[in-house]
A and B are shown apart, each in its own frame.
Chain A
Amino acid sequence: MCSVASLALVASIATPELRAQQEERPEVMRGLELESAGKYRDAVVILRAAVHTAPSPTAVLALERVYAELGMSDSLLAPIDTLIRLNPREPLYRSIQLRTLQTLRRDDQLREAFERWVRASPRDPAPYREYARILIQLGRPASGDTIIMRGKNALGTLRDLEYENAQLRAALGEWVPSAQSWRRALSDAPYLATAAAFALAPAPASARENIRDVFLSFPVELGARRALADLLLSWGAPMAAWESLRSLRPDTASATVWSEFAERAYADERWVLARDAYTAALGVRRLPHLAVRASVAALKAGTPNDVFSLAPLAEMGADSATAARQYVPLHVDALVAIGRTLDAEALIATYDRYFSPVQRMRATQSVAMGWVRAGDLQKARAALTAAGADADSSDAAGLLALYEGRLDAARLLLRSGAVPGADLTPALGIIARLRTDRAPTVGAAFLALARGDSAGASGKFVEAAAAEPAVAPALLLMAARLKGVRGDAAIPIWQKIVADFPGTPEAAESELEWARALRRRGDLASATARFEHLILSAPQSALLPQARRELEQLRGTVPPSS
């Protein structure tokens, strides 16, 4: 943050004369090359001569860097003094002088240099800005405050010192005044949004609401809203972050901010936010790649219907090949997700001649998955056959094998996380622990689950536990989960797991859930006994910290809101 600010500052204070010297002399270029190569001692000779004969900002700044690398910053003071005598109002040389004295920790000389600068340029905010910034960096915010106030009195306004004032207030823990100052600074310099968010991020929870109000107040400005969004993200409030950006005026600048936010949300797998932000950006700029990203986010967010409006096939006009490549696969997935698998099949048929073999296979696999999810194993098998031999290695084929109890094939084909919308982790865990290749009762239980028959599935998992003792606790735990963790119906199953399978990971999890159910019911004594039994009987369980924490909450030894 500081380096960005420093660069901005250096750019702003360079005089037109200095800026005009864009073509550097060969000896300066040579000095820069030596610096880049780490040959500081050689570079310093050339740069010192260049600064002496015809100083340019590039040469002076390079000399400053090279001396710092060599630990010889004090050698810069004499040439800088000379340059200042020749150009007493040149802020670049004054800034370098202050920085150098700061590096050397010569506090008294630093102060004197600042005073000389003020005398040379009494109406210039730069000396106050630079010196205050240095004091903040030195951890002397109170002294920085004095300088800012002095600058305000001398200049008649804080306008040119808002950035430093904002940093200062934050350093002093005056969060709301800092936010107000940032807000004013951002009006002129929206690129400071990241710096503002970084400075205000440590604000305590009690100040955050007021800070939010400062940035949300009218008028709606891009810089302020970007800063607030970054801030809210750092405070763990991504939804509020999006809300702060949503009300920006729809124009190309806002669309860029929305797209950037959407990319971050997409990368963080916050699908709802990504979908909404992409949708907002699409409202300004209809770009096919944004439509595809928005549709993927919508599918992941569980709102497949949005795909039809985000990526309408009509938008592609007569370009069926592009439609088949970009939008049709999304529509197929959306139709499958909302249970219109037949329509998905029809859509594939319509665009079939535009598909590459790989695209065709993926689309057909998606349809097969639709039938598998519906529990229609016959149609799923037919779709996989139609997709060709490669489809036999698909995730859909793996699920089909699982539901039919063919565990050897299921083990081979299923990968956790590969099937959209399906949490395969429990199934994979169970089939990995089973030594047999055929377990029809287990397959039947997962099939009932796929068909959405929770009650039936729960009963079938209990039956499967009796048939497959090797994984009985895991199957019983699945049955308990399907009973609904918020009710008491699962208690007999948890009880059985704890009693019959002590020492298993499922016993620890069951006891934790059992204790929670008792606590919800208000039976605090029994809940305490269960938590204690879990802690004492499973000292190596990964659930131990959680159990301890909940026991502490139950005893009232930690604040209830935590």
Chain B
Amino acid sequence: MKYPGVIRSALALILTATSARAQRLLVPMDDAQTNHLKAYGLTYNAVKTGVQAEWLLNYRGGSFLVPDAPELRRRAALDGISVEPVTDAQLAAIRRDIAGANMESVPLERAPRIAVYTPPEAQPWDDAVTLALKYAGIDFTPIYDDQVEQGDLSKFDWLHLHHEDFTGQFNKFHLGYRDAPWFRDLVAKNAAAAKRMGFSSVPALKKDVAEKIRAFVERGGFLFAMCGATETLELAIAGHDVDIAGEFADGTPMDPDADSRLNWKRSLAFKDAHLERSPFVNAMSDIDGHQVNVPGRRQPLGTFTLFNFSAKFDPVPSMLVQDHRSVISDYYGVTTSFTKATLKSGVVVLATEEGAPWVKYIHGDYGKGTWTYLGGHDPEDPQHAIGNPPTDLSLHRSSPGYRLILNNVLFPAAKKKPLKT
């Protein structure tokens, strides 16, 4: 018999009072779940308190298994998260299912320490990841250039970047917002920070920050970037020794041979991309397939499909694509997608648009760490424009796009297993 989620939660509570406690609570992540996003918060915070949880990859949409503890039941009821008590016999049956199919149980044992690179004055609603973390109840520490320069990245396991332009050109927003108070304030604050920290210009500061982020990953950090930060981080790393910023940004023209002097051996994901030289074209390079801010080049939005990996042999990419939907509507960002021609060999493509020359979601190893890039700005605001009202995730509790973000938050908690492929 199937029950609506609320009644299921109520039943769970009734069971608490009237029957012997089950050994485990299953947090289903298929359509039976009433709040997918908060389910991640429940699991993350359980792991953070020292509880051993499990991520059941490909089992009912990538469900979680947590101990049946009163506080977890209470949290689930308060947040409207569907949980199902599981007896030992039921658990044994689940494990048999997992053993016989493309599924895997991954222990989650240590909650990663999370940092989000974001300006100090930014609201959580400015960035899809902080929005998701806030909604799911997952704590994070905002850091910015000062903290990165002071070496604070070493205090964290997981770092998120969003719409920062690491080439220091402010996403070329001067084209449309030169006189907007928020833009002038942004430029002034960054210029002051660069000066305070002893850099000749904002591009010089951002390049150094990009370099420290690269080193963070190399040392074993987990990097998750979205939107324009993906593309510009790569350009800043590859252009570490080249002037890739326009005159409007640093007072000197871009190196005329910048394209050929980019060092793609240093970058994480991309190679052989070409810089957009014109200060009047709102694009950074040809890494982005959609070019949303360039009217003549802008490509329409389609849908992207998540790849299905072998849960037993490729648990990491499997974790990153756990979802209750496999086809998801696309959404724009400063960088919406990644052209296939600019991907380095060895990059794992997690999601792509069928027939298109771009991919949406990619992952790879770098040094001792890993990086994951997801194109676009906000999975529930496909046409996002500056000034749009913030997305209210309580209206998108089961957003499949936001689940991809939260998969990234949780996967570093997984106990390392030796990779079989």
Contact = CB atoms under 8 A, between A and B. Distances in A.
The answer on A and B forming one complex is: yes
A139 B295 contact: no
Main secondary structure on A side of the interface with B: helix
Interface stretch (A65-73, A439-447, A534-542): A534-542
A532 B388 CA distance: 32
Interface stretch (B6-14, B255-263, B400-408): B6-14
Given A204-B383, A557-B137, A539 B389 contact: no
Contact of B390 (A145, A545, A559): A559
A532 B78 contact: yes
Contacts of A544: 6, 80
Interface in A527-562: 532, 535-536, 539-540, 544-545, 548-549, 551-552, 555-559, 561-562
B415 to A, nearest CB: 29
A24 B295 CA distance: 49
A386 interface: no
Contacts of A551: 78
Contact of A558 (B77, B296, B388, B393): B393
A562 B389 contact: yes
A204 B298 CA distance: 18
B92 interface: no
A558 B78 contact: no
B389 A558 contact: no
A141 interface: yes
Contacts of B135: 552, 557-558
Contacts of A173: 383
A142 B385 contact: no
A559 B125 contact: yes
Interface string A32-57: 00000000000000000000000000
Contact of B13 (A204, A539, A558, A561): A539
B3 to A, nearest CB: 12
Nearest to A209: B387
A110 B179 CA distance: 45
A539 B392 contact: no
Interface in A158-203: 172-174
Contact of A142 (B77, B78, B298, B383): B298
Contacts of A549: 394
A204 B388 contact: yes
Given A536-B13, A548-B80, A551-B78, A205 B298 contact: no
B386 interface: yes
A139 B385 contact: no
A540 B134 contact: no
B300 A141 contact: yes
A436 to B, nearest CB: 34
A139 B392 contact: no
A536 B77 contact: yes
Nearest to B13: A539
Contacts of B394: 548-549, 552, 558, 562
B316 to A, nearest CB: 29
Contacts of B78: 532, 535-536, 548, 551
B296 A205 contact: no
Contacts of B383: 173, 204
B178 interface: no
B385 A204 contact: yes
Contacts of A555: 137
Given A139-B300, A539-B10, A548 B385 contact: no
B189 interface: no
Contacts of B123: 559
Nearest to A555: B137
A544 B300 CA distance: 40
Contacts of B7: 540
Contacts, number: 72
A174 B298 CA distance: 12
Interface string B389-420: 11111110000000000000000000000000
Nearest to A540: B10
A559 B128 CA distance: 12
A535 B75 CA distance: 11
B139 to A, nearest CB: 12
Interface string B108-137: 000000000000000111000000001101
B132 to A, nearest CB: 10
Given A142-B296, A532-B78, A548-B79, A562 B10 contact: no
- Which among A142, A173, A545 has the highest number of chain B CB atoms within 10 Å? A173
B137 A205 contact: no
B74 interface: yes
A539 B74 contact: no
Contact of A206 (B295, B296, B386): B386
B389 A205 contact: yes
Contacts of A172: 295, 298
Contacts of A204: 383, 385, 388
A559 B300 CA distance: 29
Contacts of A561: 389-390
A253 interface: no
Contact of B6 (A174, A205, A536, A539): A539
A539 B9 contact: yes
A557 B296 contact: no
A275 B79 CA distance: 45
A561 B388 CA distance: 12
Interface in B347-404: 383, 385-395
A207 B387 CA distance: 9
B49 to A, nearest CB: 18
Contacts of A145: 295-296
Interface string A224-251: 0000000000000000000000000000
Given A557-B135, A558-B394, 9 more contacts: A142-B298, A142-B300, A205-B387, A207-B385, A536-B78, A539-B10, A539-B77, A555-B137, A557-B137
Interface of A: 139, 141-142, 145, 172-174, 204-207, 532, 535-536, 539-540, 544-545, 548-549, 551-552, 555-559, 561-562
27 contacts: A141-B300, A142-B300, A145-B296, A172-B298, A204-B383, A204-B385, A205-B387, A205-B389, A206-B387, A206-B388, A536-B13, A536-B74, A536-B77, A539-B10, A540-B7, A540-B10, A545-B80, A548-B79, A552-B394, A555-B137, A556-B124, A557-B134, A558-B135, A558-B393, A558-B394, A559-B123, A562-B394
Pick the 4 closest A-B CB pairs, nearest first: A206-B387, A562-B392, A539-B10, A559-B390
